[in-house]
Amino acid sequence: MKKIFTFLLSLTFLLQTVAFANGKASAKTEEMLKTVKERIGETDEYDKVAANSQTSEDGTVYSFNWSYDDNGEYKSLDVSITESGIITHYSKYSSDRRDGEKLSVNRLSADELMKKAQAFSDRLNPSLAEKIKVISAGDSDDLSDRDRYFTVQRYENDIPVLADTGSISISADGEVSNFWIDYTDTISFETADSIISRDDAKKAFEENFGFELCYIKKWNGRKKEYENMLVWQPAEGHDDEYISAVNGETVKRIFPEYDGYLRAGGYANAKTEMAADEGGGNSALTEAEIKALDTVAGLISQDEAEKKIRSLKPLKISGKMKLKSIGMYHNEHGEKTYIYNMQFDDGNSKSAFASINAETGELLRFYSYPSGDTSDKTPDTNKFKKLAESALKSLAPTYFPAKDENNSFRFSPSRSDGNFIWYDRYVNGIRCGAEYISIGFDTANNNITSFNLIRTKNDFPSPDSAISATEAAKAIFDEAVFEPVYIFTCSKEGLKKYDKAIAVYNLGGNTVIDALTGKPADENVKAEADYTDISGHYAETAITTLCRYRIGYAGESFKPSEYITQKDFIAFLYSAFQRYGSELITGDYDYSSAYRYAYDKGIISAEERDPEAAVTREQAAVAMVSALGYREVADIDGIYKPMFSDVSSNIGSISILAGMKVIGGDGNGNFNPGALLTRGDAAVILYNYLSR
């Protein structure tokens, strides 16, 4: 029977391939299929096969798809292989792997999974076993993920190739479901027999590039807004420049011609956000509603907004350009102000979008279509800079001409390019990385095609107590990844694709340092805390296991004997069961999402919210059953036999958890429902469920 099935399968394949391949092409397809089969193993579980090939300047890629579909059961397998024999894509799916699988901490460790993933990668491409390496994609697990994801990295001469990376996903029990990698085999690699030391590379980096003091935006979860942070980071103006890992000299990357426009940066598409029409009944207005209406009443009118835009002569909004739509919305970030968005159209082919501050009438954004860029001449940046500064006197009169050099917008040569002119904002003489004015022109008739003003009124920290550049460099190099890598470049200008790889030292990872503390600006909480107060505690295993999945507390102390508060217990449940990521509790942890989850699941009501209250064992049982979705069943009267002599309420919830061996009594037939739950107890309850 198996031979008949195999024959039919082969016949199906041949019939499907004959339409697109014959002669040598068909022979090559057969060769590629056999190569794939040798590496992936048996495919007898599928009854359909399809084959495709795609040829480009980089060669031919052969793709094979196996599938099986019967009575709702569906399976598929997709594999792509280059003509040189490199499998670049593998994807396997089966409908019996369904969502909603039980959460569990009983799974292979990250190290065990990574070894299995590497063995699979080696099997797919045995000749590249020493060149394609599976590396960790992080040091934490996630209960909500069925699969663990790892980065796949190509190496040449034991040096990572920056552009040739990919990913592999593997289930908790070790089955690979997806693999892909970008692998460029038309590149000539620079010999890297002798690599300069990291210290020499650091010295060259500081001397040639250096670091700058800069303001950046950082999200404050508690305040629900962005704040300005003073940081040290790699200096601007050295894009695509590196320190050669071979000789320590500065090298500049050369990009192919096709990439030029993308690197210069096309103008972003305008996105018009219109406020929804508001309606309602005759109910009395609340204080907040009255305040909002008073604010709106003080704004400029739609007519005034339109007149303001039309009065800005550099924008050239003629009478032929009709106002097609206008809407007002409240910007929740930055200055938290109201903004008018307007769309103009001449009824033919020209349109424009404009946005102004509804309180001040200040122009914020402008885009005009089409751009009119028809000239073949290389744009003259100096020419367009003069045009920009002339136009900005009316488009941004508050800032041009500048009255204070240390608190103004300054021309940025490194960000300006041809007909696109950029001005960075400076405060206290320090560049604000996320605040700027940009203005773009077409090259055909010098009309303005884009304008952006990004500026906030938020406070800026003083630089008086900032660490020095020397201290910052040490802190950055201590935190960042600074290692030799291969980057692709062109051996000369004008090439259509990369033809060469050079070895350079690349500064990556955590390269931004808080200038006031010397710590990483975007310091992540460690996924696995290293607690110093749980050794020998009865909850030690539970605590350390849960922490691996980011359930617990950040820092060195868990304080297992302290009573757990309502807010922390809800945060534990939220991290364990909400199915999309989890987070250790920090000093500035945002509990709002956890409480929304608790209300939605019926764990508590809004009236029962008491964040600092201690949690009883009975309350914990009810909350846990609610989180599991069993509350409706647990509350049915008369079907549960009390398992403990001291339980008279919430018998169902306590019985369900006791029956599942998630929570127990004291050994004397008592549950002690009113006893307070410790942090260690909370960890044990969750662990008992997740390890069943």
**430-441 and 211-220: which strand pairing?**
parallel
Q: Cα torsion for 292, 298, 299, 303, to the nearest 10°?
A: 120
Give the separation between CA 148 and CA 165, rounded to whole angstroms: 17
Give the separation between CA 682 and CA 691, rounded to whole angstroms: 14
pLDDT tens digits, residue range 100-125? 556 777 778 888 899 999 999 999 99
Tally of CB atoms within 10 A around 476? 26
The pLDDT-based confidence of 667 (bands split at 50, 70, 90) is confident
Q: What is the C-alpha end-to-end distance of the chain, expressed in Å? A: 42
**Is the pLDDT at 173 greater than 50, yes or no?**
yes
**Is the pLDDT at 211 greater than 90, yes or no?**
yes
Cβ atoms of residues 409 and 437 within 8 Å:
yes
The reported pLDDT for the residue numbered 222 is 61
Q: What is the mean pLDDT of residues 42-50?
A: 90
The reported pLDDT for the residue numbered 235 is 94
**Structure tokens, 4:** 């008949």
pLDDT tens digits, residue range 329-344? 876 555 568 899 999 9
Give the separation between CA 617 and CA 650, rounded to whole angstroms: 11
Average model confidence (pLDDT) for the chain? 86
Q: How is 460-486 classified by DSSP, letter by letter?
A: ---STTPPPHHHHHHHHHHHEEEEEEE
**Structure tokens, 140:** 């934490």
Choose the weakest-confidence range: 23-32, 115-124, 163-172, 677-686.
23-32
**Is the pLDDT at 26 greater than 80, yes or no?**
no
Give the separation between CA 553 and CA 569, rounded to whole angstroms: 11
Give the separation between CA 359 and CA 276, rounded to whole angstroms: 19
The reported pLDDT for the residue numbered 273 is 32
- Residue found under tokens 């697109």: 20
Residues 6+ apart with CB under 8 A from 419: 373, 379, 381, 384, 440, 441, 442, 443
The reported pLDDT for the residue numbered 334 is 53
Q: What is the mean pLDDT of residues 119-142?
A: 86
The pLDDT-based confidence of 293 (bands split at 50, 70, 90) is low
Residues 6+ apart with CB under 8 A from 680: 534, 537, 538, 539, 542, 543, 558, 560, 561
The reported pLDDT for the residue numbered 260 is 39
Tally of CB atoms within 10 A around 522? 14
Q: Is the peptide bond before 673 cis (omega within 30 degrees of 0)?
A: no
Q: Is 73 helix (H, G, I), strand (E, B) or coil?
A: strand
Nearest to 49 by CA among 6, 94, 1: 6
The reported pLDDT for the residue numbered 338 is 87
The pLDDT-based confidence of 682 (bands split at 50, 70, 90) is very high
pLDDT tens digits, residue range 576-627? 988 666 789 988 888 988 999 999 999 999 999 999 999 999 999 999 999 9
Choose the weakest-confidence range: 288-302, 317-331, 625-639.
288-302
**Is the pLDDT at 28 greater than 90, yes or no?**
no
Q: What is the separation of C-alpha 54 from the centre of its chain, rounded to a whole number of angstroms?
A: 31
The reported pLDDT for the residue numbered 33 is 92
Give the separation between CA 25 and CA 83, rounded to whole angstroms: 11
The reported pLDDT for the residue numbered 263 is 38
Q: What percent of the chain has pLDDT over 90?
A: 62
Give the separation between CA 265 and CA 412, rounded to whole angstroms: 15
> Is the model more confident about 667 or about 490?
490
pLDDT tens digits, residue range 227-285? 899 999 999 888 899 999 999 999 999 999 854 333 333 333 333 333 333 333 345 66
Q: What is the mean pLDDT of residues 476-488?
A: 95
Cβ atoms of residues 540 and 547 within 8 Å:
no
b/e burial code for range 114-142 (CB count within 10 A of at least 16 → b): bebbbebbbebbeebeebbbbeebeebbb
Q: CA triplet 209, 215, 216: central angle to 5 degrees?
A: 100
Q: What is the mean pLDDT of residues 157-182?
A: 94
The reported pLDDT for the residue numbered 609 is 95
Give the separation between CA 73 and CA 386, rounded to whole angstroms: 67
Q: What percent of the chain has pLDDT over 70?
A: 85
The pLDDT-based confidence of 144 (bands split at 50, 70, 90) is low
DSSP character at residue 126: G
Cβ atoms of residues 153 and 133 within 8 Å:
yes
**Is the pLDDT at 418 greater than 50, yes or no?**
yes
Choose the weakest-confidence range: 93-102, 566-575, 622-631.
93-102
**Is the pLDDT at 490 greater than 50, yes or no?**
yes
**Is the pLDDT at 498 greater than 60, yes or no?**
yes
